[in-house]
């Protein structure tokens, strides 16, 4: 199935969205709609937002509905989901289009393990009972590189980078080296089916809580789900503490400065809504275009978009 007609693709997408809506209406989450144009955007050092220069003011095309959903959740404790477009500048490729479709949801009082099961249930209901492998960041680095990613020094990592990759640089940080090794040496080994990857290094916590793992080592309560070698979902047991959230945003901006990127004003409306804290919850987002690609057994994201970037 490589060349589906626009109607076939659209019909498959309609079925997917119907399946998603059925799943959430049966499990007690309410569909909400949030803006695409927002006054503030993410501080994530590796996400570039589109800036829209309107007569009504400067706005960002949303790179994720997360901040709006959390603001909602704060004042209206209720499990919610949204199906929306999200936008990330400079991201194109076989699995990336700068404008893409995202499903994001939050469940009150869910821990990381609960939201992982929730996500797996949805994905397997839609795609069928795919084989499932559960890994931690530690276990995959042990298996493929015989390395402890939580302890390794930049020097240890740099040796592996030279040995196993074609990278044209010295890595400047442990994070860069870990992400490169994950991309170049580990993800390509993932087998067909589902891989759940959890317990990320604290430096990659983003918006998740940090807790000790079984060995008493602090890890991020964050997970990703891969379909084969393709990342499908990213989720957190959400960080609820607004002060910690603010300091992570500020740290992001320091990294942005180091990378020569513009810093982003913090989303004070989010931080205020989180003050003193967000209700305990977990959340996850899924790339719907990629889920559709998996369902239809298509290799390139352009095949599920009626008007991919270079034709839009």
Partner 1 sequence: MATYSTNEFRSGLKVILDGDPCSIVENEFVKPGKGQAFSRVRLKNLKTGRSWERTFRSGENIEAADVMDVEMQYLYTDGEFWTFMDPDTFEQQQADASAVADAVRWLKGLDVCIVTLWNGSPLSVLPPNHVEIDIVETDPGLRGDTAQGGSKPAKLSTGAVVKVPLFLEIGDVIKVDTRTGEYLSRVKES
> Which residues of the chain form contacts with partner 1 (CB under 8 A)?
44, 46-47, 90-94, 96, 165-169, 175-176, 179-180, 182-184, 187, 204, 206, 224, 231, 234
Residue with tokens 């959400």: 238
Instruction: Find the shortest distance in angstroms from Cβ 7 to partner 1.
Output: 29
User: Judged by CB, which is closer to partner 1: 16, or 161?
Assistant: 161
Residue 293, CA distances (Å) to 31, 227, 234, 301, 311 in order: 24, 10, 17, 7, 19
Cβ density class 25-44: b for 16+ within 10 Å, e for less: eeeebeebebebebebbbbb
Instruction: Find the shortest distance in angstroms from Cβ 206 to partner 1.
Output: 6
Residue 150, CA distances (Å) to 42, 65, 200, 214, 231 in order: 26, 30, 9, 14, 22
Instruction: Find the shortest distance in angstroms from Cβ 92 to partner 1.
Output: 6
User: Judged by CB, which is closer to partner 1: 110, or 226?
Assistant: 226
- Please tell me what DSSP assigns to residue 181: H
Instruction: Find the shortest distance in angstroms from Cβ 2 to partner 1.
Output: 19
Residue with tokens 């084969």: 228
Cβ density class 180-208: b for 16+ within 10 Å, e for less: bbbeebbbeebeeebbbbbbbbeebbbbb
H or E element at residue 88: none
User: Judged by CB, which is closer to partner 1: 77, or 98?
Assistant: 98
H or E element at residue 166: none
User: Judged by CB, which is closer to partner 1: 59, or 66?
Assistant: 66
User: Judged by CB, which is closer to partner 1: 204, or 240?
Assistant: 204
User: Judged by CB, which is closer to partner 1: 187, or 199?
Assistant: 187
Residue 112 tokens read as 């990381």
Question: What is the CB neighbour count within 10 angstroms for residue 168?
Answer: 5
Do β-strands 132-136 and 37-38 pair in parallel, antiparallel, or remain unpaired?
A: unpaired
Residue with tokens 């590796």: 46
Give the span between the Cα atoms of 232 and 239, in whole angstroms: 21
Instruction: Find the shortest distance in angstroms from Cβ 175 to partner 1.
Output: 7
Instruction: Find the shortest distance in angstroms from Cβ 127 to partner 1.
Output: 20
User: Judged by CB, which is closer to partner 1: 24, or 235?
Assistant: 235
User: Judged by CB, which is closer to partner 1: 24, or 285?
Assistant: 285
Residue 209 tokens read as 């809580």
Instruction: Find the shortest distance in angstroms from Cβ 259 to partner 1.
Output: 9
Question: What is the CB neighbour count within 10 angstroms for residue 297?
Answer: 9
Instruction: Find the shortest distance in angstroms from Cβ 292 to partner 1.
Output: 19
Helix axes 174-181, 137-145, angle to 10 degrees: 70
């Amino acid at each position: 199935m490589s060349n589906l007609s626009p109607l076939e693709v659209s019909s498959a997408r309609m079925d997917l969205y119907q399946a998603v809506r059925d799943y959430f209406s049966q499990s007690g989450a309410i569909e909400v709609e949030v803006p695409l144009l927002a006054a503030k955007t993410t501080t994530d050092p590796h996400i570039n937002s589109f800036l829209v220069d309107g007569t009504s003011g400067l706005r960002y095309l949303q790179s994720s509905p997360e901040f709006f959903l959390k603001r909602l959740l704060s004042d209206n404790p209720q499990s919610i989901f949204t199906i929306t477009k999200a936008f990330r500048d400079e991201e194109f490729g076989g699995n990336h289009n700068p404008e893409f479709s995202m499903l994001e949801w939050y469940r009150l009082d869910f821990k990381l393990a609960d939201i992982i099961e929730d996500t797996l249930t949805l994905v397997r209901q839609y795609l069928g009972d795919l084989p499932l492998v559960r890994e931690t960041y530690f276990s995959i680095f042990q298996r493929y590189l015989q390395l402890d990613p939580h302890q390794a020094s930049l020097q240890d990592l740099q040796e592996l980078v030279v040995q196993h990759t074609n990278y044209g640089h010295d890595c400047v940080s442990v994070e860069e080296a870990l992400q490169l090794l994950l991309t170049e040496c580990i993800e390509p080994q993932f087998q067909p089916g589902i891989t759940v990857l959890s317990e990320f290094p604290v430096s990659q916590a983003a918006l998740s809580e940090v807790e000790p793992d079984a060995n008493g080592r602090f890890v991020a309560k964050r997970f990703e789900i891969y379909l084969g070698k393709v990342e499908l979902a990213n989720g957190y047991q959400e960080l609820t503490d607004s002060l910690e959230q603010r300091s992570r945003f500020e740290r992001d901006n320091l990294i942005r400065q180091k990378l020569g990127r513009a810093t982003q004003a913090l989303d004070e409306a989010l931080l205020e809504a989180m003050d003193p804290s967000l209700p305990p919850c977990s959340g996850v987002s899924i790339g719907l275009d990629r889920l559709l690609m998996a369902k239809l057994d298509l290799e390139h994201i352009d095949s599920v978009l009626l008007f991919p970037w270079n034709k839009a």
